[in-house]
């Protein structure tokens, strides 16, 4: 049993074969089913009782359900996997384990909403909600399907990402549809965080990477491991590891773990005391996350960046991004504060209200250390701050001018992208143009309306 040379590599390589070779006896028999019910949806529980598999009612809706796996012993019932985030199941939907098809989720009308795809001709022996939070569909001597191979937004201790596997954030706190942020263990061995341009699949430049790709001088990554003790690492071809998490300040004996790509794009490791012996303060605590500053971590060229277009990303005390529209701009979708902002005006090139001086139409908000680095269309230098402001004021293309480094003036146009508060900008000023209240020309006659200037 002792392999002094590469014990880690050995155990990692052997693990999948091990579980396949053993005959695992699940206690969910073929034909068994679960139903999405208003009060009492039943579920399949892991041997220890830590995890459950079944239906969870969506909070914002009385009648829609997710087929999910969750931590069952804690009051939050935190979801760690779900099948149908893009396609919630109506009341009365049914999950059944079929001998020839595996798991099938169907609506009360019999429409198939989701299924665990198993290879043709394979025969299902049973199912198992195992103690690690992995639901397995078992054949006579192999695992035909397992939730661990199809992660959604969360991975759990003992879970491994092979090359090509993806963890996708949900869309928002309350929407389980697929969001834009992704953790990808690439085929080149690099582990990256990136965004896609919804509704397409276009992958943007990563905003975090482990740098474990093939081709570098060191040995390339072969798999991404979340081990039993709560450590996250890329395991390399030569058996060495690239450790993401340093010391984990919680023991797996007393704490649950999960690592989640949150909808704000941060990838975080959380711990939660298994028992609430200390009263009500038992909750998920973030013990590690990347990137350190998601607002300034990268520039993404064909996308809005972390926040929406024309928005500004700032980091809160927990390392989480906050997105805010600047003055004169508002959210296009008021329910999505991570979304795009639109100006409450259009920049007129003097044609809208001829003869009205720009000074009467526009004003500037001065923001310190704010930048939209990729929206430049002109650099003017040497310029004073006043020249910079005036140039932008009278330029109907200009939405914001950045005055920095003593005499440099960058004029920028819409849409502004990758907006961020960046302390590294050394007091640089963003002069943001906005439209003053509606301009009503002053009329020197009796029709003058009150309260309008
Ligand atoms: C569900 O529970 C609520 C409150 O306990 C009750 O009013 C309702 O009748 C129940 N519905 C069903 C279908 O049992
Ligand atoms: C829920 O299920 C339990 C056990 O199956 C049953 O005793 C109880 O009456 C059910 N409650 C409701 C509200 O249906
Ligand atoms: C499977 O076994 C576990 C633990 O022994 C038990 O809690 C659970 O209810 C069983 N599930 C079914 C469907 O029999
Ligand atoms: C319901 O809301 C609670 C509290 O906001 C949250 O912890 C839980 O994850 C939510 N569950 C679902 C299925 O949305
Ligand atoms: C068990 O698996 C092996 C290898 O996948 C296969 O060759 C064999 O036929 C299987 N045995 C049964 C009984 O399915
Ligand atoms: C998990 O990985 C860490 C870091 O490599 C290691 O110290 C620890 O022993 C590992 N735990 C297990 C159970 O293998
Ligand atoms: C709370 O936890 C601390 C140490 O973690 C322990 O010393 C203390 O007795 C606990 N209090 C209660 C009420 O369990
Ligand atoms: C646009 O926003 C600015 C700044 O918030 C405000 O002063 C102005 O009245 C708004 N204009 C319109 C047309 O809402």
Q: Would you state the pLDDT for residue 352?
A: 62
Rounded to an integer, the average pLDDT of 83-105 is 96
* Closest residue CA from atom 7 of ligand 5: 141
pLDDT score of 276 more than 80? no
The pTM of this model reads 0.85
Q: Would you state the pLDDT for residue 408?
A: 97
Closest CA to 162 of 353, 262, 312, 12: 12
Q: Convert the pLDDT of each residue in 34-80 to its tens digit.
A: 999 987 778 999 999 999 999 999 987 679 999 999 999 999 999 99
Rounded to an integer, the average pLDDT of 275-289 is 81
**How many whole angstroms from 436 Cα to the centroid of ligand 8?**
6
Is the CB of residue 323 less than 8 Å from the CB of residue 337?
A: yes
Q: Convert the pLDDT of each residue in 305-359 to its tens digit.
A: 999 999 999 999 999 999 999 999 999 999 889 999 999 998 877 666 677 888 8
Q: Convert the pLDDT of each residue in 117-170 to its tens digit.
A: 898 889 999 999 999 999 999 998 899 999 999 999 999 999 999 999 999 999
Query: In this structure, which ligand is nearest to the CA of 453?
Result: 8
- Confidence band (pLDDT; 50, 70, 90) for 394? very high
Q: Convert the pLDDT of each residue in 219-249 to its tens digit.
A: 999 999 999 999 999 999 999 999 999 888 8
pLDDT score of 21 more than 70? no
Q: Would you state the pLDDT for residue 356?
A: 81
**How many whole angstroms from 280 Cα to the centroid of ligand 7?**
12
Q: Would you state the pLDDT for residue 10?
A: 39
416's tokens: 């502004």
Ligand 3 atom nearest residue 46's Cα: 3
Q: Would you state the pLDDT for residue 132?
A: 97
Distance, in Å, from the CA atom of 69 to the CA atom of 145, rounded to the nearest integer, reads 15
Q: Would you state the pLDDT for residue 357?
A: 86
Q: Would you state the pLDDT for residue 216?
A: 62
**How many whole angstroms from 327 Cα to the centroid of ligand 8?**
8
Query: In this structure, which ligand is nearest to the CA of 22?
Result: 5
Query: In this structure, which ligand is nearest to the CA of 23?
Result: 5
Run of H or E residues at 7: helix 7-21
pLDDT score of 214 more than 70? yes
Rounded to 5°, the CA angle 121-167-341 comes to 135
* 61 close to ligand 4 (CB < 6 Angstrom): no
**How many whole angstroms from 328 Cα to the centroid of ligand 8?**
5
Rounded to an integer, the average pLDDT of 369-389 is 96
Distance, in Å, from the CA atom of 157 to the CA atom of 246, rounded to the nearest integer, reads 16
What number of other Cβ atoms are within 10 A of residue 450's Cβ?
A: 4
**CB-count burial class (<10 Å; 0-12, 13-18, 19+) for 146:** middle
| Ligand 6 neighbours (beta carbon < 6 A) | 227-229, 231, 233, 241, 243
| Ligand 5 neighbours (beta carbon < 6 A) | 140-142
* 52 close to ligand 3 (CB < 6 Angstrom): no
- Confidence band (pLDDT; 50, 70, 90) for 20? very low
Mutate to test the pocket of ligand 1, among 36, 38, 41 (most ligand atoms within 8 A of CB): 38
Rounded to an integer, the average pLDDT of 274-288 is 81
CB environment 259-273: b (16+ within 10 A), e (fewer): bbbbbbbbbbbbbbb
CB contact set of 199 (below 8 Å; sequence gap of 6+)? none
- List alpha helices for 289-362, DSSP H: 358-361
* 277 close to ligand 7 (CB < 6 Angstrom): yes
- pLDDT, greater one: 368 or 451: 368
CB contact set of 89 (below 8 Å; sequence gap of 6+)? 36, 55, 64, 65, 66, 67, 105, 107, 113
Q: What percent of the chain is predicted at pLDDT more than 90? A: 75
Instruction: Give CATH 2.90.10.10 domain extents, the chain.
Output: 11-150
Write down the mean pLDDT value for the chain: 89
Mutate to test the pocket of ligand 7, among 277, 280, 282 (most ligand atoms within 8 A of CB): 277
Architecture per CATH, 11-150: Orthogonal Prism (2.90)
- pLDDT, greater one: 426 or 232: 232
């Amino acid at each position: 049993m002792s392999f002094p040379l590469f014990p880690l590599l050995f155990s990692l390589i052997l693990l999948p074969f091990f579980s396949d070779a053993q005959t695992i006896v699940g206690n969910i028999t073929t034909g068994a089913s679960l139903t999405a019910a208003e009060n009492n949806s039943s579920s399949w529980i892991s041997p220890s009782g830590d995890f459950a598999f079944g239906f969870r009612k969506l909070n914002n809706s009385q009648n829609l359900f997710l087929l999910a796996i969750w931590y069952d012993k804690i009051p939050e019932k935190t979801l760690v996997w779900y099948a149908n985030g893009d396609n919630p199941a109506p009341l009365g939907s049914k999950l059944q384990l079929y001998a020839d098809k595996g798991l099938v989720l169907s609506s009360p009308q019999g429409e198939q909403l989701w299924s665990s795809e198993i290879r043709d001709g394979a025969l299902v022996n049973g199912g198992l909600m195992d103690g690690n939070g992995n639901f397995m569909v078992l054949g006579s001597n192999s695992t035909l399907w397992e939730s661990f191979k199809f992660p959604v937004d969360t991975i759990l201790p003992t879970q491994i990402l092979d090359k090509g596997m993806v963890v996708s954030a949900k869309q928002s706190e309350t929407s389980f549809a697929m969001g834009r942020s992704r953790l990808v263990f690439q085929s080149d061995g690099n582990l990256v965080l990136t965004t896609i341009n919804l509704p397409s699949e276009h992958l943007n430049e990563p905003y975090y990477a482990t740098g474990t790709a093939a081709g570098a001088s060191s040995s390339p990554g072969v798999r991404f491991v979340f081990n039993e003790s709560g450590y996250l690492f890329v395991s390399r071809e030569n058996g060495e590891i690239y450790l993401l998490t340093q010391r984990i300040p919680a023991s797996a004996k007393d704490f649950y773990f999960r690592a989640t790509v949150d909808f704000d794009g941060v990838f975080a490791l959380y711990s939660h005391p298994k028992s609430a012996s200390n009263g009500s303060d038992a909750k998920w605590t973030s013990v590690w996350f990347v990137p350190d500053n998601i607002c300034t971590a990268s520039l993404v060229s064909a996308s809005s960046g972390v926040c929406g277009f024309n928005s500004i990303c700032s980091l809160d005390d927990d390392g989480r991004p906050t997105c805010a529209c600047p003055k004169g701009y508002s959210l296009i979708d008021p329910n999505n504060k991570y979304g795009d902002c639109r100006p409450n005006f259009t920049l007129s090139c003097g044609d809208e209200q001829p003869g009205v001086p720009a000074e009467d139409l526009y004003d500037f908000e001065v923001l310190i250390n704010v930048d939209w680095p990729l929206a430049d269309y002109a650099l003017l230098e040497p310029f004073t701050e006043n020249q910079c402001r005036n140039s932008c004021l009278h330029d109907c293309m200009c939405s914001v001018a950045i005055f920095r480094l003593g005499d440099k003036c960058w004029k920028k146009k819409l849409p502004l992208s990758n907006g961020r508060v960046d302390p590294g900008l050394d007091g640089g000023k963003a002069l943001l143009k906005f439209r003053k209240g509606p301009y009503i020309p002053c009329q020197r006659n009796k029709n003058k309306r009150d309260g309008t200037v």
